[in-house]
Amino acid sequence: MHKNMLVAAGCLWLAAGPVLAEGWNHPGWQDSADTRVKALALLQTLNATLLSNSSATRTLQQWCAEHRMAAPAQIRALRNPADHKDASAEVRAQLRAQPDERVAYRRVQLACGEHALSEADNWYLPSKLTAEMNRQLDGSDVPFGRAVAALNFRRQTEEVKLLWSPLEAGWEMKPAPKAGAGGLDIAQQVLQHRAVLYRGSDNAPFSVVVETYQRDVFAFPLAY
């Protein structure tokens, strides 16, 4: 796979949309050169932190706590059990799944307070998990990383995509962008990671996850 690395049921996700507060309006996020540079630095910081940790859930919980986005800063998975996507041939190959082996699918939003920080598509091998892990994943809103933590897994990021940038390519060689009339226009999706998880005991792959990080990672007041 081509690697494009940057520097660095309870709660349900209903078909009509996430069960979270709508709109995006936080103090300090006015469209200016200074704000755009801060947004880029924050995005690169988040990306580097995700790349250096095995658990995206733990990283997002720390991010939520550090930026005082919710109290308590607890990550929960909003899940719609009806969602389903068959594993592609590429996913099955990455999981080293046998021809008749079942590949389960789970799609969630990872939220902290009222903020949906990411959406995750996860294909995994139930045969590589314990019965209790499968029970939690099938019947609760526990985040995947928390449910399988006992596997002492490692995470190998295969691809990173920057889906939005507050500054255009070559910005450092150009005049500072002019300030806009209103708030900074942040795309709904800002960053995407694709990763494979491997068990610590035998290095066997058991999960392929595609995480799409949302603009609510910026949902806190920005200091002037």
pLDDT for residue 27: 79
pLDDT for residue 180: 66
Name the residue type at position 217.
Answer: V
pLDDT for residue 82: 86
Beta bridge partners of 112: 75, 115
pLDDT for residue 16: 30
Would you say how long the chain is, in residues?
224
Q: How many CB atoms lie within 10 A of CB 207?
A: 27
By the 8 A CB rule, do 121 and 85 touch?
A: yes
By the 8 A CB rule, do 141 and 79 touch?
A: yes
φ/ψ (deg, to 5) at 198: -125, 140
By the 8 A CB rule, do 125 and 101 touch?
A: yes
Q: Cα separations (Å) of 182 from 22, 29, 30, 178, 219?
A: 19, 9, 6, 12, 16
Torsion over CA: 128, 134, 137, 143 (sign):
negative
The pTM of this model reads 0.82
Please state, in angstroms and rounded to a whole number, the distance separating the CA atoms of residues 172 and 79.
Answer: 41
By the 8 A CB rule, do 191 and 40 touch?
A: no
Scored b (16 or more CB within 10 A) or e, 3-30 reads eeebeeeeeebeeeebeeeeeeeeeebe
Q: Which two tokens stand for residue 134?
A: 């499968």
Regions of the chain short of the pLDDT cut 70: 1-25, 173, 177, 179-181, 224
pLDDT for residue 24: 58
pLDDT for residue 81: 83
pLDDT for residue 224: 66
